[in-house]
Amino acid sequence: MAKFPSYGEWLPHIFRHVIRHSVAVAIVVLVVALQFLNVGLVQGPRERLDGLLYDLKIKRLPPWPQSVTNIQIVDIDENSLATVGRMPWSRDTFAELTQNLSKLGALVISYDMLFSEPQLNPAEKVLTQLDVSAINQPAWREKLLAQFDYDQHFAVAIQGAEVVTSALLHNDINNKTAEPLRGGELRIDAVEQLSQQQGSTQHLSQLPHYTSYAATIEKLAQAAAGQGFMNSFEDADGFVRRVALLAQVDNQLQPSLALETFRVYSLVDTIKPQWQSFADQLYLQGIYVGNSFIATDNEGKIYVPYRGPAKTYPYTSAEEVLANQITDNRFDQAVVFVGTSATGLADLRATPVMLGFPGVEIQATVFDALIAPQYIPYQPEWWAEATLVTLIVIGLMAVVFLTDRSPLQTSGLAVLLVVAVTAINLWVWYAFYLYLPLFCPLLLSASLTGWYIAQGFFFENRKRREVKAIFDQYVPPAHIDRLIKDHGAVSLEGEKKVLSVMFSDIRSFTSISESMSASELKQWLNQFFSPITACILQHDGTIDKYVGDMVMAFWGAPLDDVQHANKAVATAFAMLEQLAMLNRAYRDQQQPEAHIGIGINTGEMNVGDMGSNFRRSYTVIGDAVNLGSRLEGLTKYYGVSILVSETTQAEADKFAYLLIDKVKVKGKNAPVTIYSPLANDLQPEQISLYEQFNQGLALYFSRQFQASFNVLQTLAPDFPNQHLVQLYQRRIKHFLQDPPSEDWDGSYTHTSK
């Protein structure tokens, strides 16, 4: 059973990783601080950038459905001012506008403008100019005053329709009296007040709070179906992304114009806030309007789900309504918002969808959203926890996937990380209408990417040094250059590859070593190995090891090489050429000559950086390697300098071959056909002799022993390798006297290595 690591075992391991990734940890901590510290220098830029990302979401991914309510906007535009006259208009004009809209079928009329001061009755001024006796006739006086009381006319028109008026909340103080500036009547009957609901001394927290207001005059306020504040709420960058549905005036709750319009439209008597109590504070969770629940943040705000730029909702000029020019049913069962876009009067706001967005259309958009509150983008209470977890997960993913990568790999994985973070954030937005901050997760992804790319350059330089240290004594300089440029082309981990391996050994080395002193032997070997090694490196081979007088090399690793077999055979011939020149030098020095046997095999081998904690080397192992060693040992038996296996003969197709034998070497049961490659500069008559020998061996393997003997007998005087001819003549004579069994496969079993 595996033993679970103890506390003392895994704690240092974790500590080492923390130290190694200390910069990444510091970046995570800084970004977390940036996300949650509400300090001016931090909060402003963060909210601005998060706001810009929110704006992109609003523009590109509106997840809300089409409006199900007939929402119309009546605009007091330039044409209306030219026809009716400049503002302020007479309340009699607004009375007429209200009556005409009611006749056209409007259900609710919401005025996004102030009526905070009474209009002067012109009859009062006229009466001061009349005869005193006329003034003292009360009935006539009241009739005249009533005839020109346009506020009353407007109030009567309001009573005949469902009208919502506006109030403007502020915190201005009268400099002379130090009292809040207040005008008109501020109604408090639309919202269930805290004193009625809670009956405690708990304080409201975070709701917008005001001390002053400019409300609708009493006459109109009493006649209206409702009243709501028209304040806009800009973010730090001046953009209107959220609006408050509730606000406080002296701890009295007031609804927004859009919310009050929705209450009147829904035929609900009272708006009921949903509170949560914590530490003697009340936090707003949402609002009930009848059975409809509208989730808000603690400030009583919701995100405005803009449907598009200005005039997404249909606009009608107020002049057309006053002139009774509307002949269609556009206002039938409509909720009408009345506002102005005329120059000098326009209530224009900066929004995510447009810089000059009419304030009245913001009210219409919010009202439309309240009809289907489940589609309003909402920042949940747990957004901070979710964002913190997201930042930690991004940090962990960066540590796991970006560590020890090349800059290119890091960049590719970083793109995937950013795409994943963005995709999840947009999925939560699109599928669940939840708004979670995106700027800090993207900032963290980019920051960690930048750090790990920089670290990757150091890693790459370190990797180059490691590659050079490992291979500069074993592979050609051209290989080292390629490995340094693209260290991904080599893997130091163990892997299986089809390679060609060579073993070269000096024959009778024991006798040579006994005839020399240690110093002389060292010099003699160095003189031998230098040109032999040069041949291997010049043909892109990798030196595996020197063991005494033996040289082991392989081709096809660490860099892939489809010509590995051809290069191995070409190296063998180059070694023999160098050996011929070397022996001439040995003779001149009166030193022993060197003769070598070379065995080459091609097959699947395990290659990689292998060894122990104390010593390692880049080497190959496997049965195919062992066969190469066996072939080198058989060269002396067959009297040839080079032996290759059948797989090498098939791969190294740039050479002709002399068929040597079918053998079963020690440790292998399956027979292997072996060959000796022929030099490419042979004369035609030499090639003819080798071809005849191959024909003779073909007859031998097909059990035509007498015919094979005759061919070899003919070759005997001229064939270069008399030892090989005599070997087969002896075998054939034996088989002519004692034929092999029927299951004979032509192979000869070697019992020694």
CATH code at 563? 3.30.70.1230
Please return the burial class of 671, using the count of CB atoms within 10 Å of its CB with bins 0-12, 13-18 and 19+.
middle
Euclidean distance between CA atoms 290 and 279, whole angstroms: 29
Percentage, residues of the chain above pLDDT 90: 43
CB 381 within 8 A of CB 299: no
Among 451-460, 719-728, 729-738, the minimum mean pLDDT is found in: 451-460
What value does the mean pLDDT take over residues 495-504?
93
Give the rounded distance of the alpha carbon of 478 from its chain centre: 37
Tokens of 634: 């058989």
Please say which residue of 375, 402, 432 terminates a domain.
375
Percent helix, strand and coil across the chain, each rounded to 5? 45, 20, 35
Q: What is the pLDDT of residues 629-686, one digit of tens each?
A: 999 999 999 999 999 999 999 999 999 999 999 998 776 778 999 999 999 888 888 8
Per the structure, how many domains does the chain have?
4
* Run of H or E including 42: helix 40-60
* pLDDT-based confidence at residue 105 (cuts at 50, 70, 90): very high
| The pLDDT of residue 24 | 81
| The pLDDT of residue 20 | 63
139 and 282 housed in the same domain: yes
Euclidean distance between CA atoms 209 and 138, whole angstroms: 47
708 and 669 housed in the same domain: no
Residue 501 has pLDDT above 90, yes or no: yes
Q: What is the pLDDT of residues 418-438, one digit of tens each?
A: 899 999 988 988 888 888 889
Residue 119 has pLDDT above 90, yes or no: no
Tokens of 463: 């990797």
* pLDDT-based confidence at residue 223 (cuts at 50, 70, 90): very high
| The pLDDT of residue 17 | 57
Please say which residue of 347, 375, 403 terminates a domain.
375
125 and 249 housed in the same domain: yes
**326: in domain:** yes
512 and 417 housed in the same domain: no
Q: Give residue 716's domain range.
A: 682-753
558 and 604 housed in the same domain: yes
CB 275 within 8 A of CB 284: yes
Residue 521 has pLDDT above 70, yes or no: yes
Tokens of 1: 């059973």
DSSP 617-680: EEEEESHHHHHHHHHHHHHHHHT-SEEEEHHHHHH-TTSEEEEEEEEE-TT--S-EEEEEEE-T
Q: What is the pLDDT of residues 550-566, one digit of tens each?
A: 999 999 988 888 999 99
Q: What is the pLDDT of residues 589-618, one digit of tens each?
A: 889 999 999 999 999 999 887 777 776 777
What value does the mean pLDDT take over residues 71-91?
90
Neighbours of 184 (CB within 10 A): 23
**473: in domain:** no
668 and 717 housed in the same domain: no
Please return the burial class of 308, using the count of CB atoms within 10 Å of its CB with bins 0-12, 13-18 and 19+.
middle
According to the 3-state scheme, what is the secondary structure of 527-563?
HHHHHHHHHHHHCCCEEEEEECCEEEEEECCCCCCCC
149 and 186 housed in the same domain: yes
Of the two residues 432 and 292, the one the predictor is more confident about is 292
**578: in domain:** yes
Q: What is the pLDDT of residues 338-367, one digit of tens each?
A: 999 887 677 889 899 888 899 999 999 999
125 and 222 housed in the same domain: yes
| The pLDDT of residue 680 | 86
Euclidean distance between CA atoms 719 and 686, whole angstroms: 8
Phi and psi (nearest 5°) for 197?
-85, -45
| The pLDDT of residue 199 | 45
Question: Residue 296 corresponds to which amino acid?
Answer: T
**505: in domain:** yes
| The pLDDT of residue 15 | 56
419 and 439 housed in the same domain: yes
What value does the mean pLDDT take over residues 188-208?
71
| The pLDDT of residue 74 | 96
22 phi-psi bin (left φ>0, alpha ψ -120 to 50, beta other): alpha
**503: in domain:** yes
| The pLDDT of residue 2 | 45
Closest CA to 193 of 249, 243, 133, 145: 249
Please say which residue of 351, 375, 399 terminates a domain.
375
**474: in domain:** no
Euclidean distance between CA atoms 104 and 102, whole angstroms: 5
| The pLDDT of residue 201 | 45
497 and 623 housed in the same domain: yes
| The pLDDT of residue 7 | 47
Q: What is the pLDDT of residues 137-170, one digit of tens each?
A: 565 555 555 555 778 889 999 998 999 999 999 9
DSSP 486-521: -GGG---S-EEEEEEEEEEEETTHHHHHHTS-HHHH
CB 230 within 8 A of CB 359: yes
Give the rounded distance of the alpha carbon of 114 from its chain centre: 51
| The pLDDT of residue 1 | 44
What value does the mean pLDDT take over residues 386-405?
85
| The pLDDT of residue 751 | 67
**715: in domain:** yes
47 and 121 housed in the same domain: no
> CB-based contacts of 40: which residues, under 8 Å, 6+ apart?
none
What value does the mean pLDDT take over residues 389-407?
83
222 and 262 housed in the same domain: yes
pTM for the structure as a whole: 0.61
What value does the mean pLDDT take over residues 63-85?
87
Neighbours of 597 (CB within 10 A): 21
CB 739 within 8 A of CB 654: no
Residue 250 has pLDDT above 90, yes or no: no
What value does the mean pLDDT take over residues 502-515?
89
Among 119-128, 131-140, 506-515, the minimum mean pLDDT is found in: 131-140
Residue 588 has pLDDT above 50, yes or no: yes
Question: Residue 353 corresponds to which amino acid?
Answer: V
**476: in domain:** no
